[in-house]
Amino acid sequence: MGKGGDATQARPAARVFKGQQTDAEGNWKSSYNPLDKNAPELPTKGQIKASIPAHCFERSYIWGMAYLIRDLIIASAFVYATSKCLSTDLPDIRDPVAVLTWTFGWSFYAFWMGTIMTGPWVVAHECGHGAFSPSQTWNDIVGFVVHQILLVPYFAWQYTHAKHHRRTNHLTDGESHVPSTASENGLGPNNERESFYAVMHEAIGDGAFAGFQVWTHLAIGWPLYLLGLASTGKMDHKGQPLAGRIADHFRTDSPMFPGKISFKIGMSTSFIILQLAALCYMMLPSQIGPMPVILWYWNPYFFVNAWLVLYTWLQHNDPSVPHYGTGEWTWVRGALSTIDRPYGIFDFFHHRIGSTHVAHHLFHEMPHYNALEATHALKAYLEPMGLYNYDPTPWYKAMWRVGKTCHYVQDDTGIQYYKSMEDVPLTKDAKKTK
């Protein structure tokens, strides 16, 4: 096996606690270590699929539409209830109770409406995978309408997300949340802090840097990704390095996309532009006005984005989960690097996308309403071999831990594990100020 950097030193001694393997600090860690000479031989995709009941792969027009309609009914009821309780008119600033009530009420609406609308987002994402119904034409119609309403360029993201599934946890040919290297984070050959995140981390400290990681991922990560400015892959659609080219989701000639789908990319972008124009028109004072559009649409929209980035971030990143260079990566290795996590009540609204993500990455064509049964079967098959990743840590604690520990990999070859800026020695000047 090839090794990247000093990856073996990044994995502290383990112990077993309540059926889960943990590190020296008591944090969950993956049982599978490909650097271990006693690591189990991985099953094939066919062997894994055989462990799942065949009916779990059956898709239904009725069930697919039923869950989408359920989500839209919940959203409509919540909008109606909110309209009866809150006004979009700004409260009298001289009345602190009114100000607090108005602020809390609309914040409550934004969070929960964003949470509710993440459900249709997940359903539309299944349309892109072909899991919504037996007809891809119907899948694309439904997925296009729902995703475009949520300002997602459906066909563009369908293409790049499919690559994310094809190249999961690939260090160079992956897509979205591809780890950056030490040098890309401003670390020199001997871990000297030379620029960028390395210097920033030292300047603001561990906690503030983790908070910055969480904020950048959840608040601005999604639009930056769509614009090709953050968290994109490193290769174009031909497998050539981007070499500074911007790989956005909107241009028909973006290096992300082959020419054969340029019409679809153009259609997605055109509808995004039309919707943005409509929203801007509605925000005119002579129309609905800016405040109602911000409160009813834009604030929940940002929470939808936060949820979808959170899922992708947490389901593939942990200090104990490997990423693979070209010589080490295989499809099964990448897919089995996915992590299931508990999300409590949010599982209901989000169709268990986070707690059944291993099954989803192994078989994206499987509809979400069968994923729980499939997950139980996968766990029974994979867990005895130490190949099923389930971190019982509450999602918000896991988010903070990933924000504090998953900053960079040493390079993009061999087998790499995430490292933390917290473990990089401080410069002499910084030590003096501590």
**Which residues span the domain enclosing 267?**
58-427
Nearest CA to 211 out of 400, 12, 343, 17 is that of 400
- β-pairing verdict for 415-416 and 323-324: antiparallel
Condensed to tens digits (0 to 9), the pLDDT of residues 99-113 reads: 999 999 999 999 999
For residue 361, give the H/E element and its range. Answer: helix 357-362
**pTM for this prediction:** 0.92
Indicate if the pLDDT at residue 8 is higher than 50. Answer: no
Domain membership of residue 70 (yes or no) is yes
Condensed to tens digits (0 to 9), the pLDDT of residues 331-357 reads: 999 999 999 999 999 999 999 999 999
- Quote the CA–CA distance of 358 and 335 in Å, as a whole number: 7
Q: How confident is the model at residue 430 (pLDDT cuts 50, 70, 90)?
A: low
- Quote the CA–CA distance of 367 and 279 in Å, as a whole number: 33
**What pLDDT is attached to residue 10?**
39
Domain membership of residue 32 (yes or no) is no
Condensed to tens digits (0 to 9), the pLDDT of residues 56-65 reads: 999 999 999 9
- Quote the CA–CA distance of 226 and 289 in Å, as a whole number: 27
Domain membership of residue 34 (yes or no) is no
Q: How confident is the model at residue 429 (pLDDT cuts 50, 70, 90)?
A: low
Domain membership of residue 5 (yes or no) is no
Domain membership of residue 131 (yes or no) is yes
Q: What average pLDDT does range 39-65 have in this prediction?
A: 97
Condensed to tens digits (0 to 9), the pLDDT of residues 153-163 reads: 999 999 999 99
Domain membership of residue 2 (yes or no) is no
- Quote the CA–CA distance of 242 and 247 in Å, as a whole number: 8
Condensed to tens digits (0 to 9), the pLDDT of residues 292-305 reads: 999 999 999 999 99
Indicate if the pLDDT at residue 206 is higher than 60. Answer: yes
Domain membership of residue 115 (yes or no) is yes
Domain membership of residue 30 (yes or no) is no
Condensed to tens digits (0 to 9), the pLDDT of residues 360-385 reads: 999 999 999 999 999 999 999 999 99
Say how many domains are in the chain.
1
